[in-house]
C-alpha cells in the first residue's frame, strides 16, 4: 500500500515539474479553445413539385467534435442528415410547396453553433399534374388565396360568387370532370350575359386547402393558386347595393344581437298562358343573425303578382301568386363585400286556384323553392361633409307626396336641395306647365356626425357614408313602418346652370339603371339638330342601326339650361316643342298626356346625373276629371360611343 502511494506521488511530482523545473506553468489557451462547426458550399436547393432532390455540403469542426445539423421550423417535406464531414438536405415537395422558401439551419457541436440560411426553390411541375375530382359537397364553401387576391364562394349546388383583385362577379357552376364557372355581372338576375368561362382544375387537396389552376377560356390564360377553406368571423358593417344608380339601399349587418336589415333584389319567373313573365322585385326584410343564418323578424311576403293561366276548360283565368322569403344566410364577408344567400318560394295566393288551372311542367318547376345570391358593397360611416351656403347637393330630404292645392300633386319629390343658410335648406319643385316653383324649407341641426332635419311635418336625420371608390352616400334614418332598409342617395355638389351647354345633351345616352335594361335591350336617348329626338328609344340590337333611329319627340332648351321633351304622338298637328306643348296642355279630351324635363346635376367622366321631371295628366273615371301629377327623380345616363 505504501509503495503504491510512493509511486503515485512520484508520478504526480514528475508531471507537475514538467522536466524538473520548480516553476508552475498555465495550460496552453489555444489548445483548450473550442470553435463552432462550419458549413461550406452553396446553400440553395432547386427542384420541382412532386420530385425528390438532394443538396450535399461540407461540414467542418476544428476539434473533430460530434456535430448535429438542425433545420429550424422544418416542414415535413424537408429533411437533413449529417455524417462525418458532410450534410445532406433532402426535399420532397408537393404541389402545395410551389414557391421560394427560406429556412434557418443551425450546426452545433453541443458547445457552440453557427446559423445559415437555406434556400429551397420549388418550381411548378405540369408534367406531374394528376387532376383530382371533388364531390359537390367538398366544393361548396368559402375559399381564398393566402394574399386574398382570389376569393371563391360556392354558395349552392349551382351558384356562387368570385372576387379577383377587387372585382366581384357572380357565377353558375357545374362539376363534371373540371369545375366550370360561367361568370356574370354581379347585379344581373336573369338571362345574364357571360363575362368569362373559367375552368377550375383541382391538382392537389388536403384537409384545409386545394391547389387549383383557374384557366380563363375566354382569354386563354391560366393561374395556379392555392385556396384555403375559410370560416372567417363576421363583423357589424353597413352595405349598399352594387347597382349603378343615383340611389341605393343602405343595409346593416349586426353581429351584436341588434336587428340587421336588408333590401336585396330577387327575380321571379312565372310561366303564363301566353309565355312567361319575369319581375324584378326587392325583398325588404329585417332579421337577427344566429351563426350564419338571419332569422327573419319582418313579413316574409315579398310581392303578389297576378298572371293569366290556362284553365282546365281551355280558357284564360286570372291567378295570383305570392313570392315569399324563406330565410337568408350570410355566406361571405370580404373586405369590401357582403354576400347573402336567400331562399324563396312562389305559392298560390288562393290554394283553390290550383284546382281550376292546367298546371304545366314549367309552372310546377317555377313553384319549387329557389335560391338567389346577392352581393352588397361595404359602406364606411363618415362625419358630415361641409355644407356650403348657396350650394345645391343631390339627395332627397323628404319622401312624402305634396298637394299644391291647385289640383297638382307631386308624387315623388326632388332629389336635390339648396343650403340657404348655415342651418336651413330649401327644396324647389318645378313643373313643365309653367315657370312657377313651389318650395319647402327645412331646419338643419348639424352635430358633426348626423344632421337632424325638421320642417313641413318632417323630422328625420341624415347620415353620410363613403363607398370603396370614395363616392359619398347620404341616407335618411331608418323608418321600419315604411321600409326595413334605409334609402340613400349619392351626395354630389350640383353643377352650376351656366356651365351646362347644348353640347352636353347632344350625346347618345343609355340609361345606367338596371330597371331600364332587359336582357339585350337598352333604352337610348338622343337629340338631333332639327329639334327632334327621343329620350326613350328601345333598340333591341344595340347601336348597329343608329342611323335608323326614328325621332319620337320634340325638344327645347330652357332658360335654366335644362331640356324639355314632348311626345309627337300626343301632338299630331305640332311642328316643334312649343307648339306640341301648347297642344298637349290644351287637349282636355285625352285620357293621358305628358311632358318631360331633364336637367344635368353632375358629370362623372362618361356618366351624367340628370334630374328627371315628369308631368302627366290622367283621367280619373271614378271622379270624372283630369288629375295632374309630377314625378321628380334623378338618374345616371352613360354616353355611348
Q: Say if residue 419 is in the same domain as residue 318.
A: no
Q: Are residues 241 and 224 both part of a single domain? A: no
Q: Which pTM was predicted?
A: 0.80
Segment 26-79, tens digit of pLDDT: 555 555 789 999 999 899 999 999 999 999 999 999 999 999 999 999 999 999
Work out the angle at residue 149's Cα, subtended by the Cα atoms of residues 179 and 249, and round it to the nearest 5 degrees.
Answer: 90
More confident residue, 335 or 27: 335
Domain of 582 in residue numbering reads as: 498-639
The model's pLDDT over 592-621, given as tens digits with 9 standing for 90+, comes to 999 999 999 999 889 999 999 999 988 877
Whether 247 and 188 share a structural domain: no
The verdict on 470 and 513 lying in the same domain is no
* pLDDT value at residue 404: 67
What's the confidence (pLDDT) of residue 541? 52
396 lies in some domain: yes
Asked if residue 19 is part of any domain, the answer here is: no
How does strand 625-639 pair with strand 408-412?
A: parallel
pLDDT, residue 28, reads 53
Instruction: Quote the number of domains for the chain.
Output: 5
Mean pLDDT value across residues 390-403: 85
pLDDT of residue 539: 64
CATH number of the domain encompassing residue 143? 2.40.128
Strand, coil or helix: 498: helix
Q: Which range among 88-92, 127-131, 222-226, 544-548 shows the weakest confidence by mean pLDDT?
A: 544-548
* 197: helix, strand or coil: strand
Residues 631 and 547 in one domain: yes
- 109 and 136: one domain? no
Q: Are residues 454 and 502 in the same domain?
A: no
In this structure, are 374 and 431 located in the same domain?
no
Angle at alpha carbon of residue 263, lines to 399 and 265, rounded to 5°: 115
- Does residue 18 surpass a pLDDT of 50? no
Is 90 exceeded by the pLDDT of residue 410? no
Identify the pLDDT of residue 453: 95
As a whole-number percent, the residues of the chain with pLDDT over 90 amount to 60
> Three-state secondary structure along 23-35?
CCCCCCHHHHCCC
Considering the domain boundaries, does residue 273 fall inside one?
yes
Among 101, 126, 151, where does a domain finish?
126
The pLDDT of residue 422 is above 70: yes
pLDDT (average), residues 508-516: 68
| Inside any domain, residue 334 | yes
Q: How many CA atoms lie within 13 A of 3 on its CB side?
A: 0
Q: Assess if residue 177 is contained within a domain.
A: yes
3 state DSSP class of 638: strand
Cα dihedral sign for 47, 49, 51, 54?
positive
Among 438, 473, 490, the domain-final residue is 490
Residues 225 and 289 in one domain: no
Domain C-terminal end among 82, 110, 126: 126
Question: Can you give the pLDDT at residue 589?
Answer: 82
Q: Are residues 117 and 146 in the same domain?
A: no
- For residue 641, pLDDT over 90 is answered with no
Is 5 among the domain residues?
A: no
Amino acid at each position: 500500500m505504501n509503495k503504491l502511494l510512493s509511486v503515485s506521488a512520484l508520478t504526480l511530482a514528475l508531471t507537475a515539474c514538467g522536466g524538473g523545473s520548480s516553476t508552475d506553468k498555465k495550460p496552453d489557451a489555444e489548445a483548450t479553445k473550442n470553435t463552432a462547426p462550419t458549413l461550406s458550399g452553396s446553400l440553395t436547393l432547386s427542384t420541382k413539385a412532386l420530385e425528390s432532390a438532394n443538396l450535399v455540403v461540407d461540414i467542418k469542426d476544428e476539434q473533430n467534435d460530434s456535430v448535429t445539423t438542425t433545420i429550424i421550423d422544418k416542414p415535413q417535406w424537408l429533411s437533413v442528415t449529417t455524417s462525418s464531414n458532410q450534410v445532406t438536405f433532402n426535399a420532397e415537395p408537393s404541389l402545395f410547396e410551389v414557391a421560394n422558401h427560406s429556412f434557418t439551419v443551425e450546426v452545433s457541436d453541443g458547445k457552440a453553433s453557427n446559423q445559415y440560411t437555406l434556400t429551397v426553390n420549388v418550381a411548378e411541375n405540369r408534367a406531374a399534374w394528376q387532376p383530382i375530382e371533388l364531390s359537390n359537397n367538398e366544393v361548396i364553401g368559402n375559399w381564398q388565396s393566402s394574399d386574398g387576391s382570389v376569393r371563391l364562394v360556392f354558395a349552392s349546388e349551382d351558384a356562387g360568387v368570385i372576387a379577383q383583385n377587387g372585382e366581384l362577379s357572380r357565377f353558375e357552376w357545374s362539376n363534371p370532370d373540371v369545375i366550370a364557372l360561367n361568370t356574370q355581372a354581379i347585379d344581373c338576375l336573369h338571362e345574364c350575359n357571360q363575362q368569362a368561362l373559367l375552368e377550375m382544375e383541382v391538382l392537389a387537396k388536403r384537409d384545409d386547402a386545394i391547389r387549383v389552376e383557374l384557366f380563363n377560356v375566354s382569354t386563354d390564360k391560366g393561374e395556379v393558386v392555392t385556396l384555403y377553406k375559410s370560416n372567417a368571423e363576421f363583423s357589424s358593417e353597413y352595405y349598399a347595393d352594387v347597382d349603378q344608380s343615383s340611389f341605393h339601399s343602405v343595409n346593416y349587418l349586426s353581429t351584436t344581437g341588434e336587428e340587421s336589415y336588408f333590401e336585396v333584389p330577387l327575380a321571379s319567373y312565372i310561366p303564363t298562358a301566353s309565355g312567361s313573365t319575369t319581375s324584378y322585385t326587392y325583398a325588404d326584410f329585417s332579421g337577427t343573425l344566429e351563426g350564419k343564418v338571419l332569422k327573419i323578424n319582418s313579413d316574409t311576403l315579398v310581392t303578389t303578382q297576378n298572371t293569366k293561366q290556362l284553365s282546365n276548360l281551355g280558357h284564360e283565368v286570372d291567378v295570383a301568386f305570392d313570392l315569399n322569403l324563406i330565410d337568408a344566410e350570410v355566406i361571405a364577408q370580404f373586405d369590401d363585400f357582403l354576400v347573402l344567400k336567400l331562399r324563396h318560394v312562389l305559392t298560390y295566393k288562393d290554394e283553390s286556384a290550383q284546382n281550376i288551372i292546367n298546371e304545366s311542367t314549367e309552372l310546377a318547376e317555377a313553384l319549387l323553392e329557389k335560391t338567389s345570391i346577392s352581393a352588397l358593397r361595404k359602406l364606411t360611416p363618415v362625419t358630415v361633409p361641409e355644407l356650403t351656403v348657396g350650394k345645391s347637393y343631390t339627395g332627397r330630404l323628404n319622401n312624402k307626396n305634396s298637394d299644391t292645392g291647385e289640383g297638382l300633386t307631386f308624387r315623388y319629390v326632388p332629389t336635390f336641395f339648396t343650403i340657404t343658410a348655415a342651418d336651413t335648406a330649401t327644396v324647389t319643385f318645378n313643373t313643365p306647365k309653367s315657370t312657377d316653383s313651389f318650395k319647402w324649407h327645412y331646419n338643419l341641426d348639424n352635430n358633426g356626425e348626423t344632421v337632424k332635419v325638421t320642417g313641413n311635418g318632417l323630422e328625420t336625420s341624415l347620415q353620410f357614408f363613403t363607398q370603396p371608390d370614395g363616392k359619398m352616400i347620404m341616407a335618411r334614418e331608418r323608418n321600419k313602418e315604411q321600409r326595413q332598409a334605409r334609402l340613400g342617395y349619392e351626395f354630389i355638389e350640383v353643377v352650376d346652370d351656366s356651365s351646362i351647354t347644348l353640347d352636353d345633351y347632344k350625346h347618345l345616352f343609355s340609361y345606367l339603371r338596371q330597371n331600364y335594361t332587359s336582357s339585350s335591350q337598352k333604352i337610348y336617348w338622343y337629340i338631333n339638330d332639327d329639334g327632334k329626338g327621343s329620350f326613350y328609344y328601345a333598340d333591341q340590337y344595340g347601336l348597329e342601326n343608329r342611323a335608323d333611329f326614328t325621332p319620337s319627340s320634340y325638344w327645347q332648351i330652357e332658360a335654366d339650361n335644362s331640356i324639355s321633351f314632348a311626345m309627337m304622338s300626343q301632338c299630331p298637328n305640332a311642328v316643334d316643342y312649343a307648339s306640341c306643348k301648347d297642344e298637349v296642355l290644351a287637349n282636355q279630351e285625352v285620357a293621358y298626356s305628358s311632358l318631360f324635363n331633364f336637367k344635368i346635376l353632375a358629370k362623372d367622366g362618361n356618366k351624367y346625373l340628370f334630374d328627371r321631371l315628369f308631368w302627366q295628366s290622367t283621367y280619373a273615371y271614378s271622379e270624372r276629371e283630369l288629375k295632374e301629377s309630377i314625378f321628380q327623380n334623378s338618374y345616371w345616363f352613360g354616353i355611348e360611343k
